[in-house]
Structure formats: C-alpha cells, structure tokens
Amino acid sequence: MTAFDDSGLAPALLQAIADLGFETPTPVQAKVIPAFLKGTRDMVALAQTGTGKTAAYGLPLLHLTVLANAVPQGLILCPTRELCLQIAKDLNSFAKHMRGLKVLAVYGGAPIDTQLRALHRGVHIIVATPGRLNDVLRRKRADLTAVKWVILDEADEMLNMGFQEDLEAILGAAPDTARTLLFSATMPRAVAAMAGKYMDDPEEILVGHRNSGSDTVRHECYVVHAKDRYPALKRIIDCQPSLYGIVFCRTRAETQEVAAHLMSDGYNADALHGDLTQVQRDRVMHAFRTRKLQLLVATDVAARGLDVNDLTHVINYNLPDDADLYTHRSGRTGRAGKEGISIVIANIREEYRLRSLESVVRKRFTHKPVPSAREVCQSQLATVLEKIKGLKVDESRLGPYLPAIDAALASMSREELARRLVAQEFNRFLEYYSDAPDLNVRTQERPARFERRDGDGRSPRPVNRDGEGRPPRPEFRDGGGRSDGPVTRLVVNLGRRNALTPPTLMSLINRATRGPMLRIGRIEIGEDTSLFEVCGADARDLIQTMNHTHYENRQVRVMPQGRFYDGHGPRDAGGRPNQVRPPFRGARLGGAVQH
C-alpha cells in the first residue's frame, strides 16, 4: 500500500510504481496527477528540475491513453535528445505492465528513416525534440490530428535554445481541442507569452516559489583571482573525494581546455559540448551515467535536459551570462529529494553578481575559503584509510604467497608497515601540495565597495561654492583607494524589449573588448535603451569596439549620455545639466564604482 494508491491511476501503473520503489508522490506529482486526471483546463506547472515532473505528467498521460487506437494521442516536446530519450525510457518503465503501448522518441542525430517507419507502424505517444519533429511534419509523415494532450517539458530551456518557431509550427499542427500542459523551472517573459497565445485560461500549479531554486540544494562560493580558478577547482575536487558532478564552463573551447587539464592531471573527466558527434555524446554520457567518469565538463547548451541521478555537486567554473541559467545548472543536483551542492568559483571582480543570483534562487551563498594544502591532504588521507579498511582479502588466493610476504616484511614493525602502506597511496598528494600557496583573496585585495564612510559611518559629502552639500562625482578606485578617474555614462540602443539583462550587457561588453576586464559601474536597463557606467579612460575605445558588434542580429550603437555623470545627473561638455534623460525603470546592478 503506497500513497499513490489513492491517486486514481490504473492498477498496471500502480504495480509499475511499486516495482520502481516509489512510495510517496513528490509535491509536484501530488498536485499535477489529480489535476491532469480529473481536469479539462490547460495547465502551467512551475517546478524545479529533479522534482519528479516526468512521472507527474507521464503517469496520468499513460492512464488516459487508449491502447486500442494506435495513433499519436500524446505529444511530449523537450529541448534535447538526451532528455527525449530519458523521458521515453521513463514512460516505458511506467508502462511495463501495459501490454501493447508504444512510445516513440523522435530526435535529431539519429537516422530519420527509422523514426519514420516507426511512425508509420503506429504509436500512442511521441516524445520529440522540436527541430526533428518539425522536420517530420514538413515531410508530411506525422499525423497529429488525433493528439489530445500536448506537453511542453522544460519550456523555458526550449525557448532559450531558439526553438520558438519550431514550437509554434508544431502547436499550430496540433488540434485546437488538444489540452496543452506546460512545465517549466522558470517563467520568463517568452514562456508567459507562449502560454498566453496557445493556452486557454490555464490552471497554474506552483511548487515552491516562482523562478526559485530547489530547497534541497546548498549554494557555496569561493572567491579567487582569475588566474587561480583552475587550481581552486582542483582543490575543491581533491577535498571532496566522493564528488560526482558537472563542471559548467561558458564556452566550448574552455570546456575542452578544462577537461583536458583534468584528464592530464589524473582525474576521471571528459567534455560535453556542441562540437561532439552524437556517437561521441552517447559514449561520454554512458561513461558518466555508469560512474566511469567522476566529472563531466559541459557547456550550458550541451547539458540542457541532462537527467543524471545522484549528482552530489554542480561546479560553476564560470558564472552564466543569464541568472536564470544558474537555476538550471544548480537544478542538476539535489534531485528526487536528495541533497546537493552548487558551487560558484568567482573572481574578485564578480562578487557583486552573486547578489543577482541570490535573488533568483532565493537563497544566500555560503562563502567558503579555498581548502588549504593541509586540509586537502587530511581529506585524502581519510579516504585512503577508509579504502584500506574496506579492502577485502581473499585468503584462499593469497594463502600460498603468505610465507614469502611474512619473510620479506619480518624486519618491519606493525607501525612502520602501516606508514609505508599509507605512503604508497598518499605520497602523490603530499608531493603535489608540499609548497602549495594560499589561493584565498585577502580582504585588502577585494575591490573597494560602493561608498567611503567617515568615522561615524556617514558618507562624506563635499561642499560646493554655495555651501550646499552634494554627492561627489563617482570615480573608480583600485584596492589601495587610488582613483582611476571619473565615470563616463554611456547609452546603448538595447533594452528589455531585446531581452537585455545586466549580465548579458556585461557579456556583450566583454566580447567586444580585449585585454584586462573593464570595470563596470551602475547599470540601468530601460525598455528600448540602457545606461551603464565605465571609467572615462576606457569609454572612447569601448564605444568604437561595441559599435562594430551585433546583439541578436541587431547592430549595437553606443554613445555618451552627457559628458560625465555626477550625483545631479548627466551633464553636457560644458558642465550644464543635460535635460534629455529618458525614464529608466529597470533593474540596477552596481559594479566596482566608488562614490
């Protein structure tokens, strides 16, 4: 007797659930299953990855499917081939006692002729990636006229990956009477727009907080110099010998580079990125799922939709450009009620970005020091000792060799023998970390904060010639308090209408510049244009380089907004107030600017 017995599901499904060891529905299953079975309205369900969404919609979909009619009745769309295969596998597991049910996975990277033949023979449920299914529809080889349920799984990720046109074509081919159910971890504007266009008065089911992270994931942060990012990664891994996780990088090149370094340093790691063939991807994922790999180094696009059980850690080698991506990254661990840890390795110029991530996941980061050489060695020693204690000795096979062993080791004491045994396993770490430096950033090295304060904790305000106090002109200052000069305020022809966010603006700036990372001050995102502050010395070069770039197929245009920006607002070259100032109601993100 399980808690699923009262859900109204068919006995064959309840038997499969029991065989799989499921006893109690997860929160999303407890809400979605009865609403799916008994309701008739469209549905929007917001829940984090790893909360059991596949069973939440898969079990009632299987219950409602008519086996006697071998035509597509249910259509499930998902962002990646890996997730497509995983969903199809899960549905077949749930339906193992439903004789005759046919589930077909339709995805790119596999021969399309095989999938077309399976469609021709007849299937009950199609699980598909949007691009491949749209290709099948253009060939007029799939009939969706009998589809009763259309399920969009990981809708936010599908839209992030550029599948909007494919999704609209597929939804347009489905009957108007089909019930649409949208499942997503976050609810960005594009998802809300799709729900408004293709769904009729949808019922909303919210598990946890809207756009928030999983409650089973802890968030930790290590702050280092940029040059120490890889050594810090190694220490984190070495201090957690049982770590099994994904390391997220921003680019394909960096993914390959980090994976190559880890493999050459003796770690069981491999890379997953968009340049791999399907055969290579399958080989890497099989090795990772079977734990022949300890670490998977991946880009966001390559890792979307991955469903791997029991990941202990997600490590953000780089922060994502979009804060919502962090929600998806961290959601790869802490699944099915188990606890997980999401780690961020940030350099000292990125600390302020952690606040935007905290607002997204609704949790505080625990700032931790990078493990010292001694801490790493102690952790490894404990692992070696546990390994030795757990080692099984086959007396029957070892027996003939015991006299020779005893004779060779007779001159050693028990204590010396134990030390030598441990040293054989442990010497590599002792040697590597013998002169290892401290990687932690000292307090005096961190960028100056946003305000200087006097002895009473008040912000100093200079007095102008009329005796009235006014804020000083903002300046960038280094760690020693020296000024790099005044701030220039620039306006760019992009805003919320172009899906611009502070992280994506900073990424655009970084891609347009070479050499040291620029110091960015306050950012204001408007509807059609946005403002940001940079050091005056960098403004001219930045304007020239950014005006030769594109963002989402749009030519970027950057120009000064007044000559300098002081506490009273933008001013022209003569120091007079600039009267033309568009209203900005967007988010503000402070950088390393000193007021």
Tens-place pLDDT, residues 238-286: 999 889 999 999 888 899 999 999 998 889 999 998 788 878 888 998 8
Mean pLDDT, range 109-136, rounded to an integer:
94
**209: helix, coil or strand?**
coil
Closest CA to 347 of 472, 231, 465, 182: 231
Residue 192's identity, in one-letter code, is A
> Helix/strand/coil (H, E, C) string of 22-76?
CCCCCHHHHHHHHHHHHCCCCEEEECCCCCCHHHHHHHHHHHHCCCCCCCCCEEE
Mean pLDDT, range 284-303, rounded to an integer:
88
State residue 65's pLDDT score.
Answer: 96
pLDDT digits 0-9 by tens, 149-197: 999 998 887 887 778 889 989 998 999 999 999 988 777 777 788 778 8
Among left, alpha and beta (phi > 0; psi -120 to 50; other), residue 162 is left
For helices 373-389 and 414-432, give the axis angle rounded to 10 degrees.
140
DSSP string, 303-367: HTT---TT--EEEESS--SSHHHHHHHHTTSS-TT--EEEEEEEETTSTTHHHHHHHHHTS--EE
Among left, alpha and beta (phi > 0; psi -120 to 50; other), residue 111 is beta
Confirm if 104 and 110 have CB atoms less than 8 A apart: no
Whether 145 has a pLDDT exceeding 90, the answer reads yes
Question: Residue 282 is inside which H or E element, if any?
Answer: helix 278-289
Confirm if 129 and 88 have CB atoms less than 8 A apart: no
pLDDT digits 0-9 by tens, 408-453: 888 888 888 888 877 776 777 777 787 888 888 865 555 544 333 3
Q: What is the dihedral of CA 293, 297, 298, 299, to 10 degrees?
A: 180
Flag the least confident range among 43-52, 66-75, 482-491, 543-552.
482-491
Answer with the residue of higher pLDDT: 381 or 315. Answer: 315
Structural domains in the chain? 3-206 (3.40.50.300), 217-372 (3.40.50.300), 374-432 (no CATH), 475-589 (3.30.70.330)
Per-residue pLDDT band for 456 (boundaries 50, 70, 90) equals: very low
- Tokens 């005006």 sit on residue: 547
**pLDDT over 90 for what percent of the chain?**
31
